[in-house]
Chain A
Amino acid sequence: MASETKGNWWIWKVFWILLFITAFEVALGMIKPPFLVDTIFLGTKLLNHIFIILTIIKAAYIILEFMHLGHEKKSLKWTVLLPAMVLVPYLLFIILSEGVHSYLMI
């Protein structure tokens, strides 16, 4: 295993990345830069898109590094990732567009 010879430094690297992203998110949430709040894109604020992208980056680091999936065999990697990568966006697309639709119906 590569990680066994690598020691522990990579763990702390991922930790600092996760901590930095979280601190950045909290700072953005407190400051709320006006142009990010006022710009609406795909039905929600630009700021929310930034939060979601940062969240997915954090999730990727947790899954690929902490859960070690990035270093598993390719077949296992895709067995785990594909169901979520296909089904979750599909579910969100259906459910959220229905949510907007039923808002307009009330």
Chain B
Amino acid sequence: MDEALIKDHKPAWKGGDLPYKASYGKLMMWFFLITDTLTFSAFLASYGFSRFKYQDSWPVPEDVFTHFPFLHGDHPLLFVALMTFILIMSSVTMVLAVNYGHKMQKNKVILWLVLTIIGGSMFLGSQAWEWGHFIHGDKGAVVTNGSSSYKIKDSLFVNSNLAHVFKDGHMYSIDNLSEGNHHDSAHSDDIDFDNFISAFASEKDLNLRLSDKTILDHDVAVEYLKERGLRTIKGADLYENEYGHTLFGDYFFFITGFHGFHVFSGVVLLIILLVNVIKDTYARRGHYEMVEKIGLYWHFVDLVWVFVFTFFYLV
């Protein structure tokens, strides 16, 4: 930082007074990050608003994110914990790159930048896997009538009323009850649903959990399905998802997507940075401040993930 200041120093009326003792580029990166902080705060605040408003039909996070690649069974939190670890690790490699940038050690900067790019790419891959899993669905649910709707401007949005199949206190996959009729589309038709109800009725240890988390005993659940069940649903899109309130899926796509876009932009910036380090652009300039500026952005991406992790997966 100091190297950059000395190099670019100008008289006071040309901005040489340096009230912040930081270079122009670094200040501008900080100001950009302040605005981005407020943007993400607004997103997470509106997520919190909807979560409080629709708390009766909001899903429990550990019912939603339970899978780990190549492992069977439910492992809530494990995969996001790994993603968090990857991103923190890539933050560490980034600080190391910045540190060696100060010391003008080109080869070490290259080494740690490459590792940061690998970390960022691994995070993006994990997020793609997570999205794929979220979209394809997991245990599925039953859509029942009594759905609520809400109006924004002139568009009517429908929030599906969901019920989940439970066995021994754990969520049970609806695939077990609709064997032989697998569909590509998320919505099966009426005949399938009648088969689904009879399959449900024949397994006496199945319960039904309504969206407000009350659990119905088997006999009551069968009656409930016959009277109010409409169809089964699997997976998620912007209109509907199997996990809970529609807005939960929408916020998931929007906020993790916007964060993922930041990570992607960061990886692109890091690659450009790496090319320039290799080409000696910064060695000729006399300072590696660009590594520090991109580093600020990269740490910010990590910072946002810390909050997304807490509010989407933990709380």
What is the minimal beta-carbon distance from B296 to any residue of chain A, in angstroms? Answer: 6
**CA A35 to CA B76, docked complex, whole Å:** 21
- Could you list 18 A-B pairs, sorted by A, with CB under 8 Å? A11-B99, A12-B92, A15-B89, A19-B85, A48-B314, A51-B315, A55-B309, A55-B310, A58-B306, A62-B303, A66-B94, A66-B95, A75-B19, A76-B20, A87-B38, A96-B48, A99-B48, A99-B53
Return the chain A residue nearest B92 by Cβ.
A15
Contacts of A42 in B (CB 8 A): none
Minimal Cβ-Cβ distance residue in B for A81 = B34
Does any Cβ of B come within 8 Å of A39's Cβ?
no
Q: Which residues of B contact A18 (CB under 8 A)?
A: 88
- B81 contacts partner chain A, Cβ-Cβ < 8 Å: yes
- Tell me the nearest residue of chain A to B148, going by C-beta: A106
Interface size class of A (residues with CB under 8 A): 35 or more
Judge whether B196 is part of the interface by a CB distance below 8 angstroms.
Answer: no
Q: A-contacting residues of B (Cβ < 8 Å)?
A: 1-2, 19-22, 27, 30, 33-34, 37-38, 41-42, 45-46, 48-55, 62, 76-78, 81, 84-85, 88-89, 91-92, 94-96, 99, 102-103, 292, 295-296, 299-300, 302-303, 306-307, 309-310, 313-315
> In the complex, what's the smallest C-beta–C-beta distance from A72 to chain B, in angstroms?
7
New A-B contacts (14) at CB < 8 Å, excluding given A55-B309, A102-B52, A102-B53? A8-B99, A11-B92, A12-B92, A19-B85, A26-B78, A29-B314, A48-B315, A59-B303, A66-B302, A80-B30, A92-B41, A96-B48, A99-B51, A103-B53
Interface residues of A, Cβ cutoff 8 Å to B: 1, 3-4, 8, 11-12, 14-15, 18-19, 22-23, 25-26, 29-30, 43-44, 48, 51-52, 55, 58-59, 62-63, 66-68, 72-73, 75-76, 79-80, 83-84, 87-88, 91-92, 95-96, 98-100, 102-103, 106
Task: Please report the C-alpha to C-alpha distance between residue A62 and residue B37 in the assembled complex, in whole angstroms.
Answer: 14
Asked, given contacts A91-B42, A92-B48, whether A62 binds B91 with beta carbons under 8 Å apart, the answer is: yes
**Complex: how many Å from CA A4 to CA B103?**
8
Bound CA span A8–B118, Å: 21
Contact between A72 and B22 (Cβ–Cβ < 8 Å)? yes
Interface pair B91/A73, CB less than 8 Å apart: no
